[in-house]
Structure 1
Amino acid sequence: MTLNIHAVRAIYMFEMNRAFRTWAQSIIAPVLTTSLYFIVFGTAIGSRMGDIGGVDYGAYIIPGLLMLSLLSESISNASFGIYMPKWSGTIYELLSAPVNWVEVLLGYVGAAASKSLLLGTLILLTARFFVPYHIAHPVWMVGFLLLTVVSFCLFGFIIGLWADSFQKLQVIPLLVITPLTFLGGAFYSINMLPEPWQTVSLFNPVVYLISGLRWAFYGQADVHIAVSTGMTLVFMAACLTVVWWVFKTGRRIRR
Protein backbone atom coordinates (compact mmCIF):
# COMPACT_ATOMS: atom_id res chain seq x y z
CA MET A 1 0.00 0.00 0.00
CA THR A 2 1.40 3.37 -1.06
CA LEU A 3 0.88 6.12 1.47
CA ASN A 4 -0.70 9.30 0.13
CA ILE A 5 1.61 11.82 1.81
CA HIS A 6 -0.21 14.81 0.27
CA ALA A 7 -3.51 13.73 1.82
CA VAL A 8 -1.94 13.18 5.24
CA ARG A 9 -0.21 16.57 5.07
CA ALA A 10 -3.41 18.35 4.01
CA ILE A 11 -5.41 16.94 6.94
CA TYR A 12 -2.55 17.52 9.36
CA MET A 13 -1.99 21.14 8.35
CA PHE A 14 -5.72 21.93 8.41
CA GLU A 15 -5.99 20.64 11.97
CA MET A 16 -2.84 22.40 13.13
CA ASN A 17 -4.00 25.70 11.61
CA ARG A 18 -7.33 25.34 13.41
CA ALA A 19 -5.47 24.93 16.70
CA PHE A 20 -3.36 28.03 16.14
CA ARG A 21 -6.46 30.03 15.24
CA THR A 22 -7.87 29.14 18.66
CA TRP A 23 -4.54 29.25 20.51
CA ALA A 24 -6.01 30.87 23.62
CA GLN A 25 -8.42 27.98 24.14
CA SER A 26 -6.19 25.20 22.83
CA ILE A 27 -2.88 26.12 24.44
CA ILE A 28 -2.99 29.05 26.85
CA ALA A 29 -6.01 27.90 28.89
CA PRO A 30 -4.60 24.43 29.80
CA VAL A 31 -1.21 25.94 30.70
CA LEU A 32 -2.86 28.53 32.98
CA THR A 33 -5.01 25.86 34.62
CA THR A 34 -1.95 23.69 35.30
CA SER A 35 -0.10 26.73 36.67
CA LEU A 36 -2.89 27.20 39.22
CA TYR A 37 -2.42 23.58 40.32
CA PHE A 38 1.30 24.24 40.79
CA ILE A 39 0.58 27.36 42.83
CA VAL A 40 -1.97 25.67 45.09
CA PHE A 41 -0.60 22.14 45.42
CA GLY A 42 3.06 22.61 44.58
CA THR A 43 3.80 25.85 46.42
CA ALA A 44 1.13 26.47 49.05
CA ILE A 45 0.38 22.88 50.11
CA GLY A 46 3.66 21.32 48.96
CA SER A 47 5.73 23.47 51.32
CA ARG A 48 3.92 21.79 54.24
CA MET A 49 3.88 18.25 52.83
CA GLY A 50 7.58 17.40 52.97
CA ASP A 51 8.74 14.85 50.41
CA ILE A 52 7.55 11.51 49.03
CA GLY A 53 10.23 8.91 48.46
CA GLY A 54 12.92 11.54 48.67
CA VAL A 55 11.26 13.78 46.06
CA ASP A 56 9.89 17.19 47.00
CA TYR A 57 6.09 17.14 46.86
CA GLY A 58 5.91 20.03 44.40
CA ALA A 59 8.14 18.11 41.99
CA TYR A 60 6.46 14.78 42.76
CA ILE A 61 3.10 15.91 41.35
CA ILE A 62 4.52 17.13 38.02
CA PRO A 63 3.97 13.79 36.18
CA GLY A 64 0.42 13.59 37.53
CA LEU A 65 -0.43 17.14 36.52
CA LEU A 66 1.13 16.55 33.12
CA MET A 67 -1.04 13.47 32.62
CA LEU A 68 -4.12 15.30 33.88
CA SER A 69 -3.74 17.91 31.14
CA LEU A 70 -2.50 15.66 28.34
CA LEU A 71 -5.14 12.97 28.67
CA SER A 72 -8.03 15.40 28.55
CA GLU A 73 -6.50 17.54 25.80
CA SER A 74 -5.50 14.54 23.66
CA ILE A 75 -9.04 13.19 23.77
CA SER A 76 -10.57 16.61 23.18
CA ASN A 77 -8.32 17.52 20.24
CA ALA A 78 -8.78 14.22 18.42
CA SER A 79 -12.51 13.85 19.06
CA PHE A 80 -13.34 17.41 18.01
CA GLY A 81 -11.17 17.12 14.91
CA ILE A 82 -13.07 14.17 13.42
CA TYR A 83 -16.49 15.20 14.78
CA MET A 84 -16.52 18.56 13.02
CA PRO A 85 -16.52 17.03 9.50
CA LYS A 86 -19.42 14.80 10.61
CA TRP A 87 -21.32 17.76 12.02
CA SER A 88 -20.74 20.01 8.98
CA GLY A 89 -21.26 17.25 6.40
CA THR A 90 -17.78 17.52 4.90
CA ILE A 91 -17.10 13.95 6.03
CA TYR A 92 -18.62 12.84 2.71
CA GLU A 93 -15.93 14.71 0.80
CA LEU A 94 -13.32 12.93 2.90
CA LEU A 95 -14.91 9.52 2.31
CA SER A 96 -15.11 10.10 -1.44
CA ALA A 97 -11.50 11.31 -1.68
CA PRO A 98 -8.71 8.87 -2.68
CA VAL A 99 -7.55 8.34 0.90
CA ASN A 100 -7.72 5.26 3.08
CA TRP A 101 -8.34 4.95 6.81
CA VAL A 102 -4.62 4.87 7.65
CA GLU A 103 -4.04 8.24 5.96
CA VAL A 104 -7.09 9.76 7.66
CA LEU A 105 -5.88 8.44 10.99
CA LEU A 106 -2.33 9.73 10.49
CA GLY A 107 -3.61 13.19 9.61
CA TYR A 108 -6.10 13.67 12.44
CA VAL A 109 -4.34 11.73 15.19
CA GLY A 110 -0.93 13.08 14.16
CA ALA A 111 -2.17 16.67 14.46
CA ALA A 112 -3.89 15.99 17.81
CA ALA A 113 -0.74 14.30 19.16
CA SER A 114 1.43 17.21 17.98
CA LYS A 115 -0.79 19.71 19.80
CA SER A 116 -0.70 17.60 22.97
CA LEU A 117 3.08 17.27 22.86
CA LEU A 118 3.41 21.03 22.37
CA LEU A 119 1.16 21.54 25.38
CA GLY A 120 3.20 19.06 27.42
CA THR A 121 6.41 20.91 26.58
CA LEU A 122 4.90 24.23 27.65
CA ILE A 123 3.68 22.71 30.92
CA LEU A 124 7.15 21.34 31.69
CA LEU A 125 8.69 24.74 30.98
CA THR A 126 6.05 26.43 33.14
CA ALA A 127 6.76 24.02 36.01
CA ARG A 128 10.32 25.36 36.16
CA PHE A 129 8.96 28.67 37.42
CA PHE A 130 7.33 26.99 40.42
CA VAL A 131 9.42 23.97 41.46
CA PRO A 132 12.89 22.62 40.62
CA TYR A 133 12.88 19.14 39.15
CA HIS A 134 15.11 16.74 37.25
CA ILE A 135 14.37 14.00 34.72
CA ALA A 136 16.21 10.77 35.47
CA HIS A 137 15.41 9.09 32.15
CA PRO A 138 14.75 11.82 29.53
CA VAL A 139 14.70 9.48 26.52
CA TRP A 140 12.25 7.18 28.24
CA MET A 141 10.16 10.17 29.31
CA VAL A 142 9.80 11.37 25.72
CA GLY A 143 9.03 7.86 24.47
CA PHE A 144 6.46 7.11 27.17
CA LEU A 145 4.86 10.53 26.74
CA LEU A 146 4.59 9.98 22.98
CA LEU A 147 3.09 6.52 23.50
CA THR A 148 0.51 7.86 25.95
CA VAL A 149 -0.44 10.84 23.81
CA VAL A 150 -0.90 8.76 20.64
CA SER A 151 -2.93 6.15 22.54
CA PHE A 152 -5.36 8.69 23.96
CA CYS A 153 -5.58 10.61 20.69
CA LEU A 154 -6.71 7.32 19.15
CA PHE A 155 -9.23 6.97 21.97
CA GLY A 156 -10.43 10.51 21.35
CA PHE A 157 -10.72 9.77 17.63
CA ILE A 158 -13.04 6.87 18.51
CA ILE A 159 -15.13 9.15 20.74
CA GLY A 160 -15.43 11.64 17.87
CA LEU A 161 -16.66 8.87 15.57
CA TRP A 162 -19.12 7.64 18.21
CA ALA A 163 -20.53 11.02 19.27
CA ASP A 164 -23.61 12.43 17.57
CA SER A 165 -23.73 15.68 19.57
CA PHE A 166 -21.32 18.17 21.11
CA GLN A 167 -22.48 17.10 24.57
CA LYS A 168 -21.31 13.54 24.01
CA LEU A 169 -17.83 14.79 23.15
CA GLN A 170 -17.46 15.93 26.78
CA VAL A 171 -19.08 13.00 28.58
CA ILE A 172 -16.13 10.60 28.76
CA PRO A 173 -13.37 13.21 29.38
CA LEU A 174 -15.33 14.93 32.16
CA LEU A 175 -17.08 11.99 33.81
CA VAL A 176 -14.50 9.23 33.30
CA ILE A 177 -10.97 10.38 32.44
CA THR A 178 -10.63 13.34 34.83
CA PRO A 179 -11.92 11.44 37.91
CA LEU A 180 -9.72 8.44 37.07
CA THR A 181 -6.70 10.74 36.82
CA PHE A 182 -7.36 12.31 40.21
CA LEU A 183 -7.82 8.83 41.71
CA GLY A 184 -4.83 7.43 39.81
CA GLY A 185 -2.06 8.87 41.96
CA ALA A 186 -1.73 12.29 40.35
CA PHE A 187 -1.22 13.95 43.74
CA TYR A 188 -0.05 10.99 45.82
CA SER A 189 1.47 7.52 45.67
CA ILE A 190 -1.04 4.68 45.76
CA ASN A 191 1.32 2.97 48.23
CA MET A 192 0.09 5.54 50.75
CA LEU A 193 -3.42 4.06 50.56
CA PRO A 194 -4.57 1.40 53.01
CA GLU A 195 -5.86 -1.93 51.80
CA PRO A 196 -8.14 -2.75 50.06
CA TRP A 197 -8.00 0.64 48.30
CA GLN A 198 -4.42 0.10 47.19
CA THR A 199 -5.44 -3.07 45.37
CA VAL A 200 -8.58 -1.43 43.99
CA SER A 201 -6.42 1.37 42.53
CA LEU A 202 -4.64 -1.18 40.33
CA PHE A 203 -7.86 -1.54 38.34
CA ASN A 204 -7.58 2.13 37.37
CA PRO A 205 -5.76 2.24 33.99
CA VAL A 206 -4.51 5.78 34.59
CA VAL A 207 -2.41 4.52 37.53
CA TYR A 208 -0.11 2.78 35.05
CA LEU A 209 0.29 5.92 32.94
CA ILE A 210 1.16 8.20 35.86
CA SER A 211 3.40 5.55 37.41
CA GLY A 212 5.32 5.05 34.17
CA LEU A 213 5.86 8.76 33.66
CA ARG A 214 6.87 9.24 37.31
CA TRP A 215 9.48 6.51 36.90
CA ALA A 216 10.88 8.35 33.87
CA PHE A 217 11.20 11.50 35.99
CA TYR A 218 12.46 10.17 39.31
CA GLY A 219 13.23 6.47 38.88
CA GLN A 220 10.46 5.41 41.26
CA ALA A 221 7.03 4.02 40.46
CA ASP A 222 3.98 2.44 42.07
CA VAL A 223 3.86 -0.18 39.29
CA HIS A 224 6.78 -1.79 37.46
CA ILE A 225 7.66 0.17 34.32
CA ALA A 226 7.34 -2.93 32.12
CA VAL A 227 3.74 -3.40 33.27
CA SER A 228 2.93 0.27 32.64
CA THR A 229 4.37 0.09 29.13
CA GLY A 230 2.60 -3.19 28.37
CA MET A 231 -0.77 -1.86 29.51
CA THR A 232 -0.38 1.26 27.36
CA LEU A 233 0.59 -0.78 24.29
CA VAL A 234 -2.41 -3.07 24.77
CA PHE A 235 -4.70 -0.05 25.04
CA MET A 236 -3.25 1.48 21.85
CA ALA A 237 -3.63 -1.81 19.97
CA ALA A 238 -7.26 -2.05 21.09
CA CYS A 239 -7.97 1.49 19.89
CA LEU A 240 -6.35 0.78 16.50
CA THR A 241 -8.49 -2.32 16.14
CA VAL A 242 -11.67 -0.38 16.87
CA VAL A 243 -10.77 2.37 14.36
CA TRP A 244 -10.00 -0.24 11.68
CA TRP A 245 -13.35 -1.93 12.33
CA VAL A 246 -15.26 1.37 12.14
CA PHE A 247 -13.77 2.28 8.76
CA LYS A 248 -14.18 -1.27 7.47
CA THR A 249 -17.87 -1.42 8.35
CA GLY A 250 -18.66 2.30 7.90
CA ARG A 251 -20.54 2.42 11.20
CA ARG A 252 -20.65 5.73 13.10
CA ILE A 253 -18.65 7.54 10.39
CA ARG A 254 -21.65 9.33 9.01
CA ARG A 255 -23.60 11.59 11.28
Structure 2
Amino acid sequence: MNWTAIGAIYRFEMARFFRTLMQSFISPVISTSLYFVVFGAAIGSRIDQVEGVSYGAFIVPGLIMLSVITQAISNASFGIYFPKFIGTMYELLSAPISFLEIVLGFVGAAATKALFIGVVILGTAALFVDVTIQHPVAMVAFLLLTCTSFALLGFIIGIWAGNFEQLQLVPLLVVTPLIFLGGAFYSISMLPEIWQTVALFNPVVYLISGFRWSFYGLADVPVGLSLLAIAAFTALCLGVIWWIFRTGWRIRA
Protein backbone atom coordinates (compact mmCIF):
# COMPACT_ATOMS: atom_id res chain seq x y z
CA MET A 1 0.00 0.00 0.00
CA ASN A 2 1.46 3.35 -1.10
CA TRP A 3 0.60 5.48 1.93
CA THR A 4 2.64 8.40 0.57
CA ALA A 5 0.40 8.63 -2.49
CA ILE A 6 -2.76 8.26 -0.41
CA GLY A 7 -1.55 10.98 1.96
CA ALA A 8 -0.69 13.32 -0.93
CA ILE A 9 -4.19 13.02 -2.46
CA TYR A 10 -5.80 13.30 0.96
CA ARG A 11 -3.82 16.41 1.95
CA PHE A 12 -4.47 18.07 -1.41
CA GLU A 13 -8.23 17.58 -1.05
CA MET A 14 -8.26 18.68 2.58
CA ALA A 15 -6.24 21.81 1.72
CA ARG A 16 -9.05 22.88 -0.61
CA PHE A 17 -11.49 22.42 2.26
CA PHE A 18 -9.41 24.45 4.74
CA ARG A 19 -9.03 27.31 2.27
CA THR A 20 -12.77 27.88 2.66
CA LEU A 21 -12.99 26.84 6.31
CA MET A 22 -15.13 29.77 7.43
CA GLN A 23 -17.60 29.15 4.62
CA SER A 24 -17.57 25.43 5.38
CA PHE A 25 -18.15 26.15 9.08
CA ILE A 26 -20.65 29.03 8.92
CA SER A 27 -22.89 27.58 6.20
CA PRO A 28 -24.01 24.45 8.13
CA VAL A 29 -24.45 26.48 11.31
CA ILE A 30 -26.78 28.94 9.57
CA SER A 31 -28.64 26.17 7.73
CA THR A 32 -29.16 24.19 10.93
CA SER A 33 -30.37 27.29 12.77
CA LEU A 34 -32.88 27.98 9.99
CA TYR A 35 -34.17 24.41 10.11
CA PHE A 36 -34.76 24.76 13.83
CA VAL A 37 -36.53 28.09 13.33
CA VAL A 38 -38.78 26.72 10.58
CA PHE A 39 -39.35 23.14 11.71
CA GLY A 40 -38.71 23.50 15.43
CA ALA A 41 -40.74 26.65 15.97
CA ALA A 42 -43.43 26.43 13.29
CA ILE A 43 -44.07 22.68 13.24
CA GLY A 44 -42.78 21.98 16.76
CA SER A 45 -45.43 24.29 18.19
CA ARG A 46 -48.06 21.93 16.75
CA ILE A 47 -46.24 18.65 17.38
CA ASP A 48 -45.16 18.58 21.00
CA GLN A 49 -43.52 15.14 21.06
CA VAL A 50 -42.84 12.22 18.75
CA GLU A 51 -42.75 8.87 20.57
CA GLY A 52 -41.86 10.59 23.84
CA VAL A 53 -39.10 12.83 22.39
CA SER A 54 -39.56 16.57 21.83
CA TYR A 55 -39.96 17.37 18.14
CA GLY A 56 -36.93 19.67 18.12
CA ALA A 57 -34.70 16.90 19.47
CA PHE A 58 -36.36 14.28 17.26
CA ILE A 59 -35.28 15.99 14.01
CA VAL A 60 -31.61 16.34 15.03
CA PRO A 61 -30.49 12.94 13.62
CA GLY A 62 -32.36 13.67 10.40
CA LEU A 63 -30.69 17.07 10.07
CA ILE A 64 -27.28 15.52 10.58
CA MET A 65 -27.97 12.80 8.01
CA LEU A 66 -29.28 15.36 5.51
CA SER A 67 -26.11 17.45 5.69
CA VAL A 68 -23.66 14.55 5.97
CA ILE A 69 -25.07 12.72 2.94
CA THR A 70 -25.21 15.79 0.70
CA GLN A 71 -21.76 17.00 1.76
CA ALA A 72 -20.16 13.58 1.29
CA ILE A 73 -21.60 13.27 -2.22
CA SER A 74 -20.75 16.86 -3.17
CA ASN A 75 -17.14 16.77 -1.96
CA ALA A 76 -16.34 13.38 -3.45
CA SER A 77 -17.98 14.05 -6.81
CA PHE A 78 -16.27 17.42 -7.29
CA GLY A 79 -12.97 16.06 -6.00
CA ILE A 80 -12.70 13.40 -8.73
CA TYR A 81 -14.52 15.35 -11.46
CA PHE A 82 -12.14 18.32 -11.36
CA PRO A 83 -9.05 16.23 -12.31
CA LYS A 84 -11.10 14.90 -15.24
CA PHE A 85 -12.11 18.42 -16.22
CA ILE A 86 -8.59 19.87 -16.24
CA GLY A 87 -6.91 16.71 -17.53
CA THR A 88 -4.81 15.75 -14.52
CA MET A 89 -6.70 12.45 -14.23
CA TYR A 90 -4.25 10.97 -16.73
CA GLU A 91 -1.36 11.83 -14.41
CA LEU A 92 -3.10 9.89 -11.63
CA LEU A 93 -3.73 6.91 -13.88
CA SER A 94 -0.12 6.85 -15.12
CA ALA A 95 1.36 7.19 -11.61
CA PRO A 96 2.56 4.02 -9.82
CA ILE A 97 -0.50 3.84 -7.58
CA SER A 98 -3.45 1.46 -7.64
CA PHE A 99 -7.11 2.37 -8.03
CA LEU A 100 -7.61 1.45 -4.36
CA GLU A 101 -5.07 4.07 -3.29
CA ILE A 102 -6.74 6.70 -5.49
CA VAL A 103 -10.14 5.87 -4.01
CA LEU A 104 -8.79 5.93 -0.43
CA GLY A 105 -7.30 9.39 -0.95
CA PHE A 106 -10.35 11.04 -2.52
CA VAL A 107 -13.06 9.20 -0.59
CA GLY A 108 -11.17 9.51 2.71
CA ALA A 109 -10.95 13.28 2.32
CA ALA A 110 -14.62 13.61 1.34
CA ALA A 111 -15.71 11.43 4.27
CA THR A 112 -13.58 13.50 6.66
CA LYS A 113 -15.18 16.73 5.45
CA ALA A 114 -18.68 15.27 5.83
CA LEU A 115 -17.81 14.02 9.32
CA PHE A 116 -16.61 17.50 10.28
CA ILE A 117 -19.91 18.99 9.08
CA GLY A 118 -21.85 16.38 11.04
CA VAL A 119 -20.00 17.24 14.26
CA VAL A 120 -20.59 20.96 13.65
CA ILE A 121 -24.32 20.40 13.17
CA LEU A 122 -24.53 18.22 16.27
CA GLY A 123 -22.85 20.98 18.29
CA THR A 124 -25.17 23.62 16.81
CA ALA A 125 -28.26 21.51 17.55
CA ALA A 126 -27.16 21.13 21.17
CA LEU A 127 -27.53 24.92 21.52
CA PHE A 128 -31.24 24.69 20.65
CA VAL A 129 -32.43 21.43 22.21
CA ASP A 130 -31.35 18.81 24.72
CA VAL A 131 -29.64 16.09 22.69
CA THR A 132 -29.04 12.71 24.32
CA ILE A 133 -26.98 9.91 22.80
CA GLN A 134 -27.95 6.57 24.31
CA HIS A 135 -25.63 4.49 22.12
CA PRO A 136 -22.53 6.59 21.31
CA VAL A 137 -20.58 3.72 19.72
CA ALA A 138 -23.48 2.94 17.37
CA MET A 139 -23.86 6.65 16.60
CA VAL A 140 -20.21 6.95 15.58
CA ALA A 141 -20.43 3.73 13.55
CA PHE A 142 -23.52 4.88 11.64
CA LEU A 143 -21.95 8.30 11.05
CA LEU A 144 -18.68 6.88 9.73
CA LEU A 145 -20.43 4.31 7.52
CA THR A 146 -22.75 6.98 6.10
CA CYS A 147 -19.87 9.38 5.38
CA THR A 148 -17.88 6.64 3.68
CA SER A 149 -20.67 5.02 1.67
CA PHE A 150 -22.04 8.28 0.26
CA ALA A 151 -18.53 9.56 -0.45
CA LEU A 152 -18.15 6.40 -2.55
CA LEU A 153 -21.43 7.22 -4.30
CA GLY A 154 -20.19 10.77 -4.91
CA PHE A 155 -16.98 9.36 -6.38
CA ILE A 156 -19.06 7.32 -8.84
CA ILE A 157 -21.16 10.36 -9.75
CA GLY A 158 -18.02 12.44 -10.32
CA ILE A 159 -16.67 9.85 -12.76
CA TRP A 160 -20.02 9.51 -14.52
CA ALA A 161 -20.67 13.26 -14.87
CA GLY A 162 -19.79 14.81 -18.21
CA ASN A 163 -20.31 18.41 -17.10
CA PHE A 164 -21.02 20.48 -13.99
CA GLU A 165 -24.79 20.25 -14.54
CA GLN A 166 -24.71 16.45 -14.41
CA LEU A 167 -22.58 16.70 -11.27
CA GLN A 168 -25.61 18.15 -9.44
CA LEU A 169 -28.27 16.09 -11.19
CA VAL A 170 -28.34 12.99 -8.98
CA PRO A 171 -27.95 14.80 -5.62
CA LEU A 172 -30.72 17.30 -6.43
CA LEU A 173 -33.23 15.07 -8.21
CA VAL A 174 -32.67 11.73 -6.48
CA VAL A 175 -30.76 11.88 -3.19
CA THR A 176 -32.30 15.00 -1.60
CA PRO A 177 -35.94 13.88 -2.21
CA LEU A 178 -35.09 10.43 -0.80
CA ILE A 179 -33.72 12.07 2.36
CA PHE A 180 -36.77 14.28 2.87
CA LEU A 181 -39.08 11.32 2.24
CA GLY A 182 -36.95 9.02 4.39
CA GLY A 183 -38.19 10.16 7.79
CA ALA A 184 -35.67 12.93 8.41
CA PHE A 185 -38.33 15.18 9.95
CA TYR A 186 -41.01 12.67 10.94
CA SER A 187 -41.49 9.08 12.02
CA ILE A 188 -42.60 6.56 9.42
CA SER A 189 -45.22 5.37 11.92
CA MET A 190 -46.98 8.74 11.51
CA LEU A 191 -47.83 7.90 7.88
CA PRO A 192 -50.92 5.99 6.70
CA GLU A 193 -50.31 2.25 6.55
CA ILE A 194 -49.99 2.08 2.78
CA TRP A 195 -47.38 4.86 2.76
CA GLN A 196 -45.47 3.15 5.54
CA THR A 197 -45.09 0.17 3.21
CA VAL A 198 -44.00 2.41 0.33
CA ALA A 199 -41.48 4.21 2.58
CA LEU A 200 -39.74 0.92 3.36
CA PHE A 201 -38.54 0.81 -0.26
CA ASN A 202 -36.60 4.04 0.38
CA PRO A 203 -33.04 3.00 1.39
CA VAL A 204 -32.47 6.25 3.29
CA VAL A 205 -35.19 5.23 5.77
CA TYR A 206 -32.89 2.53 7.14
CA LEU A 207 -29.99 4.97 7.60
CA ILE A 208 -32.01 7.62 9.41
CA SER A 209 -33.87 5.04 11.51
CA GLY A 210 -30.65 3.40 12.72
CA PHE A 211 -28.99 6.74 13.38
CA ARG A 212 -31.99 8.02 15.36
CA TRP A 213 -31.99 4.80 17.39
CA SER A 214 -28.42 5.54 18.49
CA PHE A 215 -29.70 8.83 19.97
CA TYR A 216 -33.05 7.98 21.53
CA GLY A 217 -33.54 4.23 21.19
CA LEU A 218 -36.34 4.81 18.66
CA ALA A 219 -36.32 3.03 15.30
CA ASP A 220 -38.80 2.61 12.45
CA VAL A 221 -37.02 -0.56 11.29
CA PRO A 222 -34.83 -3.07 13.18
CA VAL A 223 -31.33 -1.75 13.86
CA GLY A 224 -29.71 -4.90 12.47
CA LEU A 225 -31.55 -4.32 9.19
CA SER A 226 -30.26 -0.74 9.12
CA LEU A 227 -26.66 -1.92 9.54
CA LEU A 228 -27.17 -4.57 6.86
CA ALA A 229 -28.58 -1.97 4.46
CA ILE A 230 -25.66 0.46 4.87
CA ALA A 231 -23.13 -2.39 4.61
CA ALA A 232 -24.78 -3.68 1.42
CA PHE A 233 -24.85 -0.17 -0.07
CA THR A 234 -21.15 0.31 0.72
CA ALA A 235 -20.27 -3.03 -0.86
CA LEU A 236 -22.31 -2.15 -3.97
CA CYS A 237 -20.50 1.18 -4.38
CA LEU A 238 -17.11 -0.52 -3.96
CA GLY A 239 -18.09 -3.08 -6.59
CA VAL A 240 -19.09 -0.38 -9.06
CA ILE A 241 -15.84 1.53 -8.50
CA TRP A 242 -13.81 -1.65 -8.99
CA TRP A 243 -15.63 -2.23 -12.29
CA ILE A 244 -15.03 1.39 -13.39
CA PHE A 245 -11.27 1.15 -12.91
CA ARG A 246 -11.13 -2.35 -14.36
CA THR A 247 -12.86 -1.28 -17.58
CA GLY A 248 -11.72 2.36 -17.72
CA TRP A 249 -15.31 3.54 -18.14
CA ARG A 250 -15.48 7.35 -18.32
CA ILE A 251 -11.88 7.81 -17.11
CA ARG A 252 -9.76 6.78 -20.09
CA ALA A 253 -11.85 8.16 -22.93
Matched residue, 2:147: 149
Aligned equivalents of 1:180, 1:31: Cα separation in 2: 23
Q: Structure 1 stretches of 5 or more lacking a match?
A: none
Query: SS of 2:128's equivalent?
Result: coil
Matched residue, 1:90: 88
Q: Which of 214, 217, 226 pairs up with 2:224?
A: 226
| Contact 1:74/1:153, CA 8 A, preserved across alignment | yes
Aligned equivalents of 1:172, 1:71: Cα separation in 2: 12
Gap change, CA 1:25 and 1:86, over 3 Å in 2: farther
Q: Which of 175, 182, 186 pairs up with 1:188?
A: 186
Matched residue, 2:49: 51
Gap change, CA 1:25 and 1:168, over 3 Å in 2: farther
| Contact 2:209/2:220, CA 8 A, preserved across alignment | yes
Q: Which of 29, 32, 55 pairs up with 2:30?
A: 32
Aligned equivalents of 1:27, 1:91: Cα separation in 2: 29
The runs of at least 4 consecutive aligned structure 1 residues that moved more than 6 Å come to: none
Q: Equivalent pairs: percent with the same residue?
A: 63
Q: Which of 208, 211, 214 pairs up with 2:209?
A: 211
**Relative to structure 2, which stretch is displaced further, 43-52 or 223-232?**
43-52
Q: Which of 176, 179, 187 pairs up with 1:178?
A: 176
Matched residue, 1:202: 200
Aligned equivalents of 1:232, 1:168: Cα separation in 2: 25
Q: Which of 161, 164, 168 pairs up with 1:163?
A: 161
| Contact 1:39/1:130, CA 8 A, preserved across alignment | no
Deviation at 1:30, TM superposition (A): 2.7
| Contact 1:67/1:210, CA 8 A, preserved across alignment | yes
Q: TM-score, normalised by structure 1?
A: 0.97
Q: Which of 112, 128, 131 pairs up with 1:130?
A: 128
| Contact 1:34/1:69, CA 8 A, preserved across alignment | no
For 1:59-115, what per-residue CA distance to the aligned partner results, in whole angstroms no more than 9, with x for missing partners? 000011111111111100000000000000000111111110110011000000000
Aligned equivalents of 1:134, 1:254: Cα separation in 2: 49
Deviation at 1:27, TM superposition (A): 3.6
**Relative to structure 2, which stretch is displaced further, 42-51 or 195-204?**
42-51
Deviation at 1:199, TM superposition (A): 0.1
Q: Structure 2 stretches of 5 or more lacking a match?
A: none
Taking the TM superposition and a 5 Å limit, the aligned residue runs for 1:41-120 are 41-120=39-118
Aligned equivalents of 1:204, 1:155: Cα separation in 2: 16
Deviation at 1:38, TM superposition (A): 1.3
Q: TM-score, normalised by structure 2?
A: 0.97
Query: SS of 1:49's equivalent?
Result: coil
**Relative to structure 2, which stretch is displaced further, 40-49 or 208-217?**
40-49
| Contact 2:76/2:106, CA 8 A, preserved across alignment | yes
